[in-house]
Amino acid sequence: MSEIDNRRIWCAGVEYDGSAYRGWQTQQPGVPTIQERLSEAIAFVANHPVDVVCAGRTDAEVHALGQVVHFHGTADRDPRAWLLGSNSRLPDDINLRWVLPAPSDFHARYAARSRSYRYVIWNRQARTALGRHRAAWIYHRLDAAAMHRAAQHLLGEHDFSAFRAVACQSRTPFRNVEFIQVQRQGDLLWMDIRANAFLHHMVRNIAGVLIAIGKGEADEDWPLRLLELRDRTQGGVTAPAGGLYFHGVRYPDYPDIDALSRPGDEPMLPGAPLL
């Protein structure tokens, strides 16, 4: 049997602090990316080159708690060996959470039925030292209830042209938002959003619109008008990358993977129970 025939698909959950990286996708030599670091670490354990495929690419300085990847390996390793061996070769700001053997037809991107993101804001007059790279800092007091009500206009399938980056390469601007919620606890405010897929900068652009509403600079119907205008130039500012987290993926056709691919509410910052 050839080496190709011996290949097995493995999937893994990944968390990372994206502050020091130029995003997920491998670029030219010398540019640090998450994909490059993961591929190198897993390839060391596999003892052969490895191509790591993710559920959803993230931009420069964006983080992940529940990223999911898959890779092919011919090495005779069990999940624990893949997990501990890879983590021993990864920098401190990237970590595998779990590893599982996957069915032969599993694909981290194409098998995903929905993806979720969380956008986190420190909302107080004084900036934060500990959270400076892992949350956006807004010193104006935000009205979380108004932001939540405004966000409900985005539920369902819409043309999100007003919320996509100019450089977005998606063939269609239509996306289906299944869930969106804005909450506050103390000085922390966060937005959770789940959709079948996302356009480039879509979550950060939504966050920027909702922040303006939270400040009282725009009314709660502004998201609805933007959907109707389909014009990015009318859509306000893009929220900073440091507040954004790839939070989880849903794989209903693969129950064992699905059970691990949606991390619970876990603390990542002091006093922040829901990052």
- Active-site annotation holder among 17, 59, 256, 258: 59
Q: Angle at which helices 222-229 and 202-215 pack, to 10 degrees?
A: 140
Query: Same structural domain for residues 75 and 147?
Result: no
Domain assignment of residue 191, yes or no: yes
Please state, in angstroms and rounded to a whole number, the distance separating the CA atoms of residues 38 and 18: 13
Domain assignment of residue 271, yes or no: no
**pLDDT tens per residue, range 61-111:** 999 999 999 999 988 899 999 999 999 999 999 999 999 999 999 999 999
pLDDT for residue 130: 85
Give mean pLDDT, residues 207-220.
97
The residue among 111, 131, 152 that closes a domain is: 111
Query: Same structural domain for residues 145 and 84?
Result: no
Which residue range forms the structural domain that includes residue 98? 8-111
Query: Same structural domain for residues 101 and 121?
Result: no
Domain assignment of residue 2, yes or no: no
Here the tokens at position 52 are 């790591």
- The residues with which 156 forms a beta bridge, in sequence order, are 177
Domain assignment of residue 214, yes or no: yes
Domain assignment of residue 158, yes or no: yes
Q: Give me the amino acid identity at 94.
A: I
Query: Same structural domain for residues 19 and 86?
Result: yes
pLDDT at 267 over 60: no
pTM: 0.92
Query: Same structural domain for residues 100 and 137?
Result: no
Name which of 216, 236, 108 is nearest 163 in CA terms: 236
The count of structural domains within the chain is: 2
Report the CATH number that the domain containing residue 231 is assigned in CATH. Answer: 3.30.70.660
Residue 265 annotated as catalytic = no
117 marked among binding-site residues: yes
Domain assignment of residue 164, yes or no: yes
**pLDDT tens per residue, range 20-40:** 999 999 888 889 999 999 999
pLDDT for residue 264: 55
The residue among 111, 145, 172 that closes a domain is: 111
Here the tokens at position 195 are 């959709």
